[in-house]
Structure 1
Amino acid sequence: MPPRAFLLTSLSGRVLAKAAARAQRSVVGIDAFADQDTCGMALKWTRSPLDRNGIFDAAAMLDAADLVCPPAACLGLVYGSGLEAQPALLRELSEGRIVLGNSPEVLETVADPERFSSLLAALDIPHPATRLSRPAEVTGWLSKQAGACGGTHVRLASALPESDAGRYFQRQVAGEEWSFLFLANGRDICSIGFNQPLMTPPQASGRWSYAGATRMDAGPAGVDEAVMQAARALTARLGLVGLNGLDFIVTHSGWVLLELNPRPPATLELWDVPLLPCLFDLHVEACKGRLPARLPHPGSSMAVAVVYAETRLLIPTDFAWPSWCADLPWADSVIEAGDPVCTVRADGPDAATARHQALGRRQEIIQWLDRFASPATGWNDPAVAQSTQMFPA
């Protein structure tokens, strides 16, 4: 029998694996990429393919889970992104395993745009107009895939055909984008902190693809308390547990909630840092009903930025990744144009400095990889391979 361990599942599991490693927890995992650094932080890691709709192949995921972490060896199932649209898959994965996260029933509610919009209205939480049918006038409306995550699925309603199964429509809201990370125990919350997402770069395949985020000193003035109260209300009504996130927009007259992420969001890594307890442990404890009284702020800032491929790339065998890179693809991997290559991070005394440095590092990686893809140098030019050692730590 495999060694007893926590089972991690996510579209990209590196953030969860890193949090578990900091907490010195034994883990095995399944995601869609099985990147180099992710595999290095687990006892065993395997890749589960996505189907044509960009969601996990349920049969393959269940087979992989039984292989790497059968129920008798599972200390608990911790899931990240990717199961929002597949509550039935979560229900099957939970057979014989303890789920350390929100229930399939919570996912069903949150993934149903009509039910979730009605819930927000009942709780008096501001949110965009949402409808299942295509509006007669599509200007100013977005189309989203029910239960999807990451932003890649978001489209202008005017850019889609008349009928597109599984999608709903949401009024576009102008303003400043923010997110809020919190712990929940089914009744109340413990605030962790606020973040601001980075603008999606032109290289990304989707206009609203996740591009990274910056850890902020405080929430947006005038609405931060209202956002935290909304998190409390949703927790009490849905019984939310563990790490969760809210995505919202600050408008000229207030704020609007866009999404509830009922699982550990990608911004977890911005806060799982020295001066704070291990957030993986706090997630486990919160799922058991226990919250810390309060958490300190790290005092500085950190930003992460996703690097997207400008053109089709072949990752060089001798490429020396800087220490500030993560989600590292394997050598000889092919990355299609518009797909994520890796993530870069940067620390700074304030949000502006950290963000500026992360964006600079993102551009640096793009430029170096571009040299390998350039017809003038070829994929395996020794001079270029040697020069990759010049990255600063």
Structure 2
Amino acid sequence: MQNILVIGFDTRNIVCSARRAGYTVCSVDAFRDLDLQECAHASALLECRTSGELRQLDSDWITAKMNDFGLEFDAIVPGSGMEALDPCSFPCPVLASSPEAAKKASNKLHLAERLEALGIPHPHCYSPDELDAIEYPVILKPATGGGGIFNRVAKNRQELLALLEEYSGLGQGFTEKEIVVQQFLEGTPASVSLLSKEKESMAIAVNEQLVGIPWFSRLPFAYCGNITPFRTKCAGEMEALSEELVLELGLMGSNGIDFLVTEKGPVVLEVNTRFQGSLDTVEKAMGINLFEAHIGCFRGELPEKPEAKLFAARGVIYSDRELFIDRRLMEVILREKSADIPRQGTVIEPDWPLTSLFSSASTREEAIKSLKQGAERIKTFIVDRMTG
């Protein structure tokens, strides 16, 4: 196996991991970032901006793009938004969980029912006919995907009804049935990264999630990166729950489980049936190539359980305004330890990811300090340029 197509909303971390593992990789995604193009043999733009548009993507269009690349592909690896890609539509294997398993696990309403049946702690999800029985506050989320960008909190019925109206006007294709109303809990966001083959799974890292960090984003629930490893007394319990859950859900390869660590212990929030945003920090901290390990799962192989060698951190900077990426801003971004680097001449929309920063250190505090300093340098340049 040598030639790989990676397709999804954002594929940079998968493509670069595959390139480091020695594969020839082509990519189709919605960003075509500068560093993705450096890692990919060839790339094409996926002109989809919402999860609904991704779900409606025609397999014939994907096949045509594969033909345009001029390679005979040995496998397709789906990224975010393409978790349920139909393997029957392509001439080569799709190395992912089955579409049926991915759809069920990714849907927060269906997942809540499974977690309840398994006795695994999770926030209560209210169905549309339970609106009169809701105990506030609650958090509203898209049933699938979102990255926290569209999450909202309602403290009473009036706010809930106003938010449901707001979702319908966002232009993202949300309907009331596609919005989850979930019990709102306080705690520390975390995740577990796993590898699984048939009848066996292994947790390889517990990660702290950075959510709604004000010096990265003004959105209160936006995914802003993560730190690997997460040192918590709940780590062993989270790993055991995750290993049980991915096998119960019939998932294969690299998958992730999102948790909230509360005063009463960890609760499961959602399942990511794909490579996760923590890929970079897991690889750096644990000394593993996740793409190669993912491929190995489909050969029936799991690697030895890795041990953390340092703290690795990723921070995602969101733009608080419309930004034109010119040469000077590119130079500022490239001076940092950055990835997901936008191409010169592109326009970044307000509250859209601008770039990612990375750091590694012997302590969590040093790693997060480095991220914050880098973010401040980039944002200071943007503010100075606008006011100047």
TM range (shorter): 0.7 to 0.9
Of residues 99, 104, 107, the one that matches 1:109 is 104
Task: Return closer, same or farther for 1:238/1:69 CA change in 2, 3 Å cut-off.
Answer: farther
Q: TM-score, normalised by structure 2?
A: 0.87
Identity, % of aligned positions: 24
2:378 — aligned with what?
A: 365
Of residues 336, 339, 342, the one that matches 1:326 is 339
Is the CA contact (8 Å cut-off) linking 1:49 and 1:56 kept in structure 2?
no
> For the residues of structure 1 that align with 2:64 and 2:150, how far apart are their CA atoms?
30
Secondary structure of 2:74's counterpart equals strand
State whether structure 2 residue 300 is matched by structure 1 residue 289. yes
2:136 — aligned with what?
A: 139
> For the residues of structure 2 that align with 1:357 and 1:284, how far apart are their CA atoms?
33
State whether structure 2 residue 135 is matched by structure 1 residue 125. no
Of residues 353, 358, 362, the one that matches 1:340 is 353
1:179 — aligned with what?
A: 191
Is the CA contact (8 Å cut-off) linking 1:48 and 1:61 kept in structure 2?
no
Is the CA contact (8 Å cut-off) linking 1:304 and 1:345 kept in structure 2?
yes
The RMSD of aligned alpha carbons is 2.5
Q: TM-score, normalised by structure 1?
A: 0.86
> Any unmatched runs of 5+ in structure 2?
155-159, 166-174
Question: Deviations along 1:128-162, whole A, 9 cap, x unmatched?
Answer: 10123162346311111112141112222435136
Is the CA contact (8 Å cut-off) linking 1:74 and 1:97 kept in structure 2?
yes
Task: Return closer, same or farther for 1:316/1:51 CA change in 2, 3 Å cut-off.
Answer: closer
Once the two structures are TM-superposed, the CA of residue 205 in structure 1 deviates from its matched residue by: 6.3
Is the CA contact (8 Å cut-off) linking 1:11 and 1:31 kept in structure 2?
yes
Task: Return closer, same or farther for 1:258/1:270 CA change in 2, 3 Å cut-off.
Answer: same
2:315 — aligned with what?
A: 305
Residue correspondences, number? 366
1:34 — aligned with what?
A: 32
Is the CA contact (8 Å cut-off) linking 2:106 and 2:270 kept in structure 1?
no
Is the CA contact (8 Å cut-off) linking 1:123 and 1:233 kept in structure 2?
no
State whether structure 2 residue 163 is matched by structure 1 residue 160. yes
1:82 — aligned with what?
A: 81
> For the residues of structure 1 that align with 2:365 and 2:381, how far apart are their CA atoms?
25
Of residues 227, 238, 242, the one that matches 1:214 is 227
Question: Deviations along 1:105-126, whole A, 9 cap, x unmatched?
Answer: 1122113333321211222211
Is the CA contact (8 Å cut-off) linking 1:314 and 1:332 kept in structure 2?
yes
Question: Deviations along 1:48-73, whole A, 9 cap, x unmatched?
Answer: 11256664273467514432358982
Task: Return closer, same or farther for 1:72/1:122 CA change in 2, 3 Å cut-off.
Answer: farther
